[in-house]
């Protein structure tokens, strides 16, 4: 069986290991020389300071010092809790600034990426003369391993417009006669020369 002293020591150690995070608004029961004083640290400090003034007015220096020591204890608790809160607040503000700075850097990277993509898309845009052109050094496309596309093929030769045919003069009957010993006959319609 354990002794009651060890149990009470463990209890007090557990309480002292707790965070003093919410000390400012926590309600304490203080056992002072004149009984229990209950309230937040600020209320307890005010109460002990009032009791110390009353003891001083009555001329009790020992009671005055005792109340002042109790008030100082809660003043230290309150000061430590406020320092811890300030440190936590500063840490949160620092983390918020770091997160905001990271968001700003990410937004700047995103803007740069978008601008780069727009520049790249404009390079391959509507005017192919603005796009970077490769140097061609008289290589045959069959040797280069590239695929032949309509743009790379030689254009078909254009046809020249046709000249209209010259009209042939009407053929005479004599030219239609068989070639032989006979002399060509004169045309009946053709006017004969006067003799």
pLDDT tens-digit map of 115-163: 988 888 876 555 666 666 777 665 555 556 677 777 777 777 777 778 8
Higher pLDDT, 7 or 105: 105
Query: Would you state the torsion angle of the CA atoms of residues 114, 115, 118, 120, taken in this order, to the nearest 10 degrees?
Result: -110
* Predicted confidence (pLDDT) at residue 17 exceeds the cutoff of 50: no
Specify the residue for token string 């052109």: 133
Please indicate, yes or no, if residue 8 is contained in any of the structural domains: no
Read off the pTM. Answer: 0.42
- Within a domain: 92: yes
Distance CA(98)–CA(27), nearest Å, equals 36
- Whole-number pLDDT of residue 16: 47
pLDDT digits (tens, 9 = 90+) for 34-46: 778 888 888 999 9
Q: Tokens for 185, please give them.
A: 């006959």
In a domain, 153, yes or no: no
Instruction: Assess if residue 10 is contained within a domain.
Output: no
In-domain check, residue 133: no
How high does pLDDT run on average in the chain? Answer: 76
Give φ, ψ of 34 to 5 degrees.
-110, 25
Query: Is the pLDDT assigned to residue 87 strictly greater than 60?
Result: yes
Nearest Cα residue to 32 out of 68, 78, 79, 77: 68
What are φ and ψ of residue 115, in 5° steps? Answer: -60, -40
Is residue 189 in some structural domain? no
Residue 66, in any domain of the structure: yes
Are residues 86 and 49 in contact, defined by beta-carbon separation less than 8 angstroms?
Answer: no
Asked if the structure places residue 94 within a domain, the reply is yes
Partner residues linked to 37 by β-bridges: 30
Residues 48, 67: contact at Cβ < 8 Å? yes
Q: How confident is the model at residue 54 (pLDDT cuts 50, 70, 90)?
A: very high
Q: How far apart are CA 79 and CA 2, in angstroms?
A: 37
Number of domain units in the chain: 1
Host domain of residue 107: 23-120
Residue 9, number of CB atoms within 10 A of its CB: 11
pLDDT band at 195 (very low <50, low <70, confident <90, very high): very low
């Amino acid at each position: 069986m354990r002794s009651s002293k060890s149990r009470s020591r463990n209890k007090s150690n557990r309480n002292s290991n707790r965070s003093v995070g919410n000390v400012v608004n926590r309600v304490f029961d203080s056992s002072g020389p004149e009984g229990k004083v209950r309230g937040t640290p600020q209320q307890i400090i005010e109460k002990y300071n009032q009791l110390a003034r009353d003891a001083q007015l009555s001329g009790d220096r020992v009671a005055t010092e005792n109340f002042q020591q109790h008030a100082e204890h809660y003043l230290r608790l309150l000061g430590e809790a406020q320092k811890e809160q300030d440190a936590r607040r500063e840490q949160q503000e620092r983390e918020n600034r770091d997160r905001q700075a990271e968001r700003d850097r990410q937004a700047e990277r995103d803007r740069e990426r978008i601008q780069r993509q727009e520049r790249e898309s404009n390079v391959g845009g509507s005017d192919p003369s603005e796009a970077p052109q490769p140097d061609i050094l008289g290589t045959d496309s069959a040797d280069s391993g590239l695929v032949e596309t309509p743009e790379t093929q030689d254009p078909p030769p254009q046809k020249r417009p046709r000249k209209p045919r010259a009209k042939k003069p009407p053929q005479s009957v004599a030219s239609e006669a068989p070639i032989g010993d006979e002399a060509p006959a004169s045309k009946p319609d053709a006017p004969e020369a006067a003799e």
